[in-house]
Chain A
Amino acid sequence: MVKFSEEQLAEFNRLVSRYPEGKQKSALLPVLHLAQDSFGGWLSAETMDYVAEMLQISSIEVYEVATFYSMYNLKPVGKYMFEVCQTGPCMLRGSDDIIAYIGEKLGIKPGETTSDGMFTLKTVECLGACGYAPMMQLGKHYREHLTREKVDAIIEECRSKAANMN
């Protein structure tokens, strides 16, 4: 069963308090981020229904928002998601090559997750880092000026982080 912890609930209340009385629906986007981060990195139907209940809105209002925005995952994703930008300015600096290289190294195509559930590769559109291309988003941060060597190092970094967590 999904349920916010004490700490998550405090954050939920802080988010809702930023909007006028009766306009708690305005907190939907930030609350969905919170829910996604809290419940396994994606939004299950159960999670979305919970968010609807918490915000006192109907489930359909949550579904239509969750399906509109690209940052909400509607399916489980790997522990580490490589979101590589493929738009024009990044392409001019070799993003195609980086995407192909990551795919080759991990043995997956864009949109897929490795069988051990460790990595997801996703191509995304311009992330506002065009001057530091090629680049990708990894969790909360950007990894910029990517080269094949940097990609190797990032994959290693993720693997050893995961190993230390176990």
Chain B
Amino acid sequence: MSIKLLLEKAHVEGIRYFDVYRREGGYRSVEKALKEMGPEAIVEEVKKSGLRGRGGAGFPAGMKWSFIAKPEGVPRHLVCNADESEPGTFKDRYLMEFIPHLLIEGLIVSSFALGSNDTYIYIRGEYAWIVDILEQAISEAKNNGFLGNNILGTGFNCNIHVQRGAGAYICGEETALIESLEGKRGNPRIKPPFPAVQGVWMRPTVVNNVETLAAVVPIINMGGEEYAKIGVGRSTGTKLISACGNINKPGVYEIDMTISVEEFIYSDEYCGGIANGKKLKACIPGGSSVPILPANLLLKTAKGETRYMNYESLSDGGFATGSMMGSGGFIVLDEDQCVVRHTLSLARFYRHESCGQCSPCREGTGWMEKILKNIEYGKGKLSDIDLLWDIQRKIEGNTICPLGDAAAWPVAAAIRHFRDEFEWHVLHPEEAQQ
């Protein structure tokens, strides 16, 4: 039986409203954290929990929090990253839409731990109706003494503000997000300095994903050690996976990271198998930026071992035969899908989203799209496949932010595992044109 820490109450009637959420045990972690624990003790619990950033990079949350600089007299800020724009990823939306108070609760505890009196939620501009849901939750929390001045009589002041983006994938990258929050174009900054040292308005800032901050609630309620017992190895706790593509039951699932990929795809509790009785062809298990895997390498590692839905197992084999957990956007392709076409669509996405600051990314994403288009529509040459390989290699590692890598990896993996499909397009131009 699966363990649910985040979505357990998501379907309780009226859980979106404070009274119901509170009746179901909500905001207990705020009482415990503010009255019985201090900021250091909270950071300690989060460290013990082993919680890793759910935005994609998997950086240990407690460690990041302990890195925040504390210069005398300079305000610090917590920023919640709700930009969620990685193709295949829609888990944060689900959490905010159905159980918004869980995020607000996590934000209050985390703001207290980090000493943030003004906390910002940066949400992608298209999630306009969710802004209303969050603002409603914030005002309810405030009316009940959980936000505003002197929260629960502890002397802690905190306000949460929701800022809408305006359509730019790059603003999910934390330094681009900070620029955007300051009212500028979303051009990433060079790291280091990390935001924990110099973030919004040059003040120390912690940026965390929605799911990471929501997970702080069960961690405080149950204790970091108990939380760490769930899962396996360095993949502790539960993870939200948003599953889409050619499966019977697309949706958001909370998993305990001990289940196998096979169980996740075929069990009725999760994806319910491949749609229309088709066969599984390939899958991008962690959002569009991570390598695509053919069915055989998805279900079993190159060594023939079962592959599991956790950080370590999904990356087993490195990029040669593995992939990554990433943001948890699980995209499934059935046997009828064309990998070249899908890769072209992702290449177009990255070309569209490149901020244009670095030439390898700006030019490279454009070239990759163009060459892929030629191949897809039967106008390519065999040497184009090598050219494509060459371009992606020249982007990787040569840019300010990882969007360049994110654009390169899907192309590399598609060629690595499905070269025959690229060749087929070149050798059968007439059929490819259809």
Any chain B CB within 8 A of the CB of A137?
A: yes
User: Are A131 and B84 in touch, CB under 8 angstroms?
Assistant: no
User: Are B182 and A125 in touch, CB under 8 angstroms?
Assistant: no
User: Are B126 and A88 in touch, CB under 8 angstroms?
Assistant: no
Report B-chain residues with C-beta under 8 Å of the C-beta of A33.
125, 164, 166
User: Are A92 and B182 in touch, CB under 8 angstroms?
Assistant: no
Q: Which residues of A (52-102) have their CB < 8 Å from a CB of B? A: 55, 57, 61, 64-65, 68-72, 86-89, 91-93
Any chain B CB within 8 A of the CB of A130?
A: yes
Report B-chain residues with C-beta under 8 Å of the C-beta of A57.
183
Pick from B129, B288, B346, B348: contact of A140, CB below 8 A: B129
A154 to chain B, nearest CB (A): 17
* Contact stretch, chosen from B3-11, B56-64, B242-250: B242-250
User: Are B166 and A71 in touch, CB under 8 angstroms?
Assistant: yes
- Assembly CA distance A23 to B163 (angstroms): 14
A124 to chain B, nearest CB (A): 8
User: Are A68 and B88 in touch, CB under 8 angstroms?
Assistant: no
**Residues of B in contact, count (CB < 8 Å):** 55
- Assembly CA distance A133 to B143 (angstroms): 38
User: Are A128 and B90 in touch, CB under 8 angstroms?
Assistant: yes
- Assembly CA distance A27 to B185 (angstroms): 13
Any chain B CB within 8 A of the CB of A146?
A: no
B352 closest partner in A (C-beta): A125
Q: A26-B181, A131-B242 are in contact. Are A92 and B337 (CB under 8 A)?
A: yes
Report B-chain residues with C-beta under 8 Å of the C-beta of A128.
84-85, 89-90, 92-93, 124, 126-127
B290 to chain A, nearest CB (A): 13
Q: A32-B166, A129-B90, A131-B251 are in contact. Are A88 and B288 (CB under 8 A)?
A: yes
B167 to chain A, nearest CB (A): 4
Any chain B CB within 8 A of the CB of A109?
A: no
Residue among A128, A130, A133 with the highest chain B CB neighbour number at 10 A: A128
Report B-chain residues with C-beta under 8 Å of the C-beta of A133.
244, 250
User: Are B244 and A131 in touch, CB under 8 angstroms?
Assistant: yes
Any chain B CB within 8 A of the CB of A108?
A: no
- Assembly CA distance A94 to B163 (angstroms): 33
- Assembly CA distance A31 to B165 (angstroms): 11
Report A-chain residues with C-beta under 8 Å of the C-beta of B169.
125-126
Report A-chain residues with C-beta under 8 Å of the C-beta of B393.
none
- Assembly CA distance A63 to B333 (angstroms): 41
B92 to chain A, nearest CB (A): 8
- Assembly CA distance A18 to B245 (angstroms): 40
A38 to chain B, nearest CB (A): 15
User: Are B342 and A88 in touch, CB under 8 angstroms?
Assistant: yes
- Assembly CA distance A154 to B67 (angstroms): 51
User: Are B341 and A26 in touch, CB under 8 angstroms?
Assistant: no
User: Are B246 and A92 in touch, CB under 8 angstroms?
Assistant: yes
Report A-chain residues with C-beta under 8 Å of the C-beta of B345.
86-88, 91
User: Are B161 and A18 in touch, CB under 8 angstroms?
Assistant: yes
- Assembly CA distance A26 to B77 (angstroms): 14
- Assembly CA distance A26 to B164 (angstroms): 11
Pick from A25, A88, A140: contact of B182, CB below 8 A: A25
| Number of A-B pairs, beta carbon distance below 8 Å | 143
Report A-chain residues with C-beta under 8 Å of the C-beta of B184.
25, 28, 61, 64-65
User: Are A137 and B126 in touch, CB under 8 angstroms?
Assistant: yes
Any chain B CB within 8 A of the CB of A39?
A: no
Residue among A23, A55, A64, A127 with the highest chain B CB neighbour number at 10 A: A127
User: Are A27 and B87 in touch, CB under 8 angstroms?
Assistant: no
Against A, the Cβ 8 Å flags (1 = close, 0 = not) of B173-204 are: 00000001111111000000000000001000
- Assembly CA distance A133 to B90 (angstroms): 12
B250 to chain A, nearest CB (A): 4
Any chain B CB within 8 A of the CB of A141?
A: yes
A90 to chain B, nearest CB (A): 9
- Assembly CA distance A129 to B242 (angstroms): 10
Pick from A25, A126, A129: contact of B183, CB below 8 A: A25
Report B-chain residues with C-beta under 8 Å of the C-beta of A26.
163, 181-183, 201
User: Are A130 and B185 in touch, CB under 8 angstroms?
Assistant: no
Any chain A CB within 8 A of the CB of B349?
A: yes
- Assembly CA distance A124 to B333 (angstroms): 21
Pick from B75, B85, B127: contact of A126, CB below 8 A: B85
Q: A131-B251, A141-B129 are in contact. Are A29 and B84 (CB under 8 A)?
A: no
User: Are A131 and B250 in touch, CB under 8 angstroms?
Assistant: yes
User: Are B185 and A64 in touch, CB under 8 angstroms?
Assistant: yes
User: Are A89 and B88 in touch, CB under 8 angstroms?
Assistant: yes
Report B-chain residues with C-beta under 8 Å of the C-beta of A141.
128-129
Against A, the Cβ 8 Å flags (1 = close, 0 = not) of B214-242 are: 00000000000000000000000000001
B353 closest partner in A (C-beta): A125
- Assembly CA distance A91 to B88 (angstroms): 12
- Assembly CA distance A61 to B84 (angstroms): 26
Any chain A CB within 8 A of the CB of B113?
A: no
Cβ contacts A to B, 23 pairs, < 8 Å = A25-B183, A26-B163, A26-B181, A29-B165, A32-B166, A61-B184, A64-B185, A65-B183, A71-B125, A71-B166, A89-B245, A91-B345, A92-B342, A93-B246, A125-B87, A125-B348, A126-B288, A127-B126, A128-B92, A128-B93, A130-B87, A131-B250, A140-B129
4 closest A-B pairs by beta carbon, nearest first, are A28-B183, A70-B167, A69-B166, A131-B250
Apart from the given pairs A88-B87, A89-B245, 7 other A-B contacts in the complex at a CB distance below 8 Å: A69-B168, A69-B186, A71-B167, A91-B341, A128-B93, A129-B90, A130-B245
